[in-house]
Amino acid sequence: MQKIFIIIRSLDEAGRMLIFAGNSETLIYPVDHHMRIPKRNFAMFEDSYKHKGMRRALVRTIQKKGITSEKVLHAIDTVPRHVFLDEAFLEHAYQDKAFQIGEGQTISQPFTVAFQTQLLDVQPKAKILEIGTGSGYQCCVLLAMGVQVYTIEYNWILYQRARKTIQKLGYKAHTFHGDGSKGLPQYAPFDGIIVTAGAPTVPLALIEQLKPGGRLVIPVGDRQSQRMLLVQKEPDGQITKKEFPNFSFVPLLGEYGWQN
């Protein structure tokens, strides 16, 4: 028997509840607002009123910490973070903190996800490269903002898991397994590049893959702490940088990152 994972995502303009089934097609059903979905084994793919309320509280928290972009706040309010965590962490999914996801990796703190996304300043239909798919949460936040995402993950197990989760949520991304420190030159140039792991330096290969006017957001430092860099390639090709202190990411592994 085929398993179908179900998640309630939102209400449409007509006030109908949208249910997405994670099989080969995305299905939308109009249902009664008070309909209860049988729990069975689908708990991690149900987006309940409780989850939505917790997300709204999370949005208020990161607003107070300085996130001002309405489109970023809307994306955080849209993407169900609990789907990306083990069931044991369900009650903690909307706390503003990072969590382990296995393989020595973490799902980033929601404020950090929002901060990086806000720095990237994406526009609809922009072509974005994400380095470090991890759980897939950051990728889905970007997809919820209407951009094209090319995402690459170094760890094979996380790559497979994230790819399936992204698909089950009804999103479409270009997913790759490999050395993200090199970028994806065959798909360049990109309007923006976001790196979700700490690098020892800014890989020149990533700057080369930016379009003129493009932005690179990357944490740089040692293995314990980093400063967030916003690297912008101006229309004339000149490079400008801004930095923001006090961040901590897992190491970026690869030829232009840290050695495993």
**What is the tens place of the pLDDT at every residue in 191-205?**
999 999 999 999 999
Q: Which CATH superfamily is domain 110-247 in?
A: Vaccinia Virus protein VP39 (3.40.50.150)
**What is the tens place of the pLDDT at every residue in 63-96?**
999 999 999 999 999 999 999 988 777 778 999 9
Q: Which active-site residues does the annotation give?
A: 108
Percent of the chain with pLDDT over 90: 71
Q: Which residues contact 72 (CB under 8 A, 6 or more apart)?
A: 114, 117, 118, 141, 145
Q: Which residues contact 60 (CB under 8 A, 6 or more apart)?
A: none
CA–CA gap between residue 202 and residue 80 (Å, rounded):
31
State whether residue 37 is helix, strand or coil. coil
Q: Pull the structure tokens for residue 151.
A: 């995402």
Locate the domains of the chain by residue range.
1-46, 110-247
CA–CA gap between residue 129 and residue 218 (Å, rounded):
12
Please state the pTM of the whole predicted model.
0.81
CA–CA gap between residue 97 and residue 24 (Å, rounded):
33
